[in-house]
């Protein structure tokens, strides 16, 4: 393995600076790509990392299971920690450096007194069933983005479009707070049958996995209508999801891709124009799944 592991902030800073000095073109400050993750990496994360490697001189992936974004101590405890396998995957796609700090390194004074708040948007969709989740996620993303700031001339951070609400909130945060970093949303990676890759898919039985395919099928139904500039038939898409055995629909919404404000009403009645994002969440047996698709 050629990848370097940093577990402290001091090691991260020193290694990133040394890598930039070695890898940026002579006389330039180079570019750095940051790929924040919580580990338990799969092919979707590999795609994030590959995209970062293709566009930057140095790529740093972070692996940190952030306690602030878990509502439930049992979920936090159970979250898979697979550092060795994650390092091998990241090394295989050309990531230079992994920052895998302890909780004490990230939060030396215990839980931070001051946090980023995700505001109204943080309480909708995924935030409605996980109160405080996005405040915790934005707080750690803000810290990680600051820790990645260094001598580089260009600074980019990569997030999976699968978590569309997180992407929208991170994008708002860097604009609202003037963070000097460009946020890149990397398209969802799907299995051949259409299921969006997720670390939760491993908990689906064969039958549940079959039933879960209804999510991407319903999204594709809307996309076909949008591509044909027809009014969206949200009712049929919802009915399709509800008809699948063992699938409990939570929400199915068509929203503005940037603000996540609802767009469904005008899309239902008039020919579809412009761009929108269809978001769906459902419980498939014991597993909560989310998926989304850009329309137009």
Binding site for ligand PAF (CB under 6 A): 36-38, 66, 69, 137, 140-141, 163, 166
Smallest distance, Å, CB 185 to ligand PAF?
Answer: 12
Catalytic residue among 42, 45, 133, 229: 45
Asked about 42 being catalytic, the answer comes back as no
Smallest distance, Å, CB 39 to ligand PAF?
Answer: 8
Smallest distance, Å, CB 232 to ligand PAF?
Answer: 28
Smallest distance, Å, CB 45 to ligand PAF?
Answer: 8
Integer CA distances (angstroms), 61 to 18, 57, 171, 217, 273, in order: 16, 13, 19, 32, 38
Residue 123 vs 246, nearer CB to ligand PAF: 123
Residue 140 vs 221, nearer CB to ligand PAF: 140
Residue 141 vs 282, nearer CB to ligand PAF: 141
Residue 133 vs 223, nearer CB to ligand PAF: 133
**What are the catalytic residues?**
45
């Amino acid at each position: 393995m050629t990848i370097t592991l940093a577990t402290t902030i001091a090691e991260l800073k020193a290694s990133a600076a040394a890598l930039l000095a070695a890898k940026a073109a002579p006389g330039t400050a180079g570019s750095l790509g940051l790929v924040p993750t919580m580990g338990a990496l799969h092919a979707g994360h590999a795609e994030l990392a590959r995209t970062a490697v293709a566009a930057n001189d140095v790529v740093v992936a972070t692996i940190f299971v952030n306690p602030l974004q878990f509502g439930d101590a049992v979920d936090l405890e159970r979250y898979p920690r697979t550092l060795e396998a994650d390092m091998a995957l990241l090394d295989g796609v050309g990531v230079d450096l992994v920052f895998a700090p302890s909780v004490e390194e990230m939060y030396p004074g215990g839980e931070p007194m001051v946090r980023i708040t995700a505001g109204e948007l943080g309480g909708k969709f995924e935030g409605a069933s996980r109160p405080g989740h996005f405040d915790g996620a934005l707080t750690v993303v803000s810290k990680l983005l600051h820790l990645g700031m260094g001598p580089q001339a260009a600074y980019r951070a990569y997030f999976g479009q699968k978590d569309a609400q997180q992407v929208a909130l991170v994008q708002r945060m860097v604009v609202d707070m003037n963070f000097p970093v460009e946020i890149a949303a990397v398209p969802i990676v799907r299995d051949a049958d259409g299921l969006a890759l997720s670390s939760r898919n491993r908990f689906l039985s064969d039958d549940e996995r079959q039933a879960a395919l209804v999510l991407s099928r319903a999204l594709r139904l809307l996309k076909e209508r949008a591509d044909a500039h027809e009014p969206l038939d949200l009712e049929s898409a919802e009915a399709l999801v509800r008809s699948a055995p063992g699938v409990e629909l939570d929400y199915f919404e068509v929203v503005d891709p940037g603000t996540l404000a609802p767009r469904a009403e005008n899309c239902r009645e008039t020919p579809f124009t412009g761009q929108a994002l269809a978001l769906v969440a459902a419980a498939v047996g014991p597993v909560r799944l989310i998926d989304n698709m850009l329309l137009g």
